[in-house]
Structure 1
């Protein structure tokens, strides 16, 4: 029987915490009962560098990935959180928006 992957957007591209998604994730994964018996892995890096692809391959998550034929561009916005499949201890993978934010435009501080 295959485990279900459970991923959701934790923080929107506008910086809003998605409380209902977090509550649902906590409930469906029994996170509270795990106490301190879990691991968290996050990946950061420039946009379109393969962060989502790496997480999906290593942890069997289902984060949305860029279509190589569609050209390069921002796919992940904000922070996404997913349950790693078939890994002990229970592992939470976090996919973070590209650190260079080239699709958003940079805010320059003088």
Structure 2
């Protein structure tokens, strides 16, 4: 019978490298390009803006699909298997997420513009 090691440290705090390795892929196992690893600040900014843009597009597609489902359902049309509407609280939350992501992207863009004007001066 195997004995348990009660002296092992079960509360070990993961290092930054451990966390980076654990979060370097998305749930589908595809790599996530970490913007902190990019040395060029302009490239890092563009990578962040592209990520925000992709997230906003995906959220907008989810909202559009949910709305289309509800319209088809209301008119008595058959929906494809696997389609579903989002609950109202999710819809509101996603609209809020789009708003704040858009504001964040705008602030990043404006910050980059002001930095480029300071560098030109």
Q: Same fold (TM over 0.5)?
A: no
The structure, 1 or 2, with the larger RCO (C-alpha pairs under 8 Å, 6+ apart) is 1
For this structure pair, what is the TM-score category when the shorter chain's length is used for normalisation?
Answer: under 0.3
Structure possessing the higher radius of gyration over alpha carbons: 2
TM-score calculated relative to the size of structure 1? 0.26
TM-score, with structure 2 as normaliser: 0.24
* Structure in which a larger fraction of residues adopt helix: 2
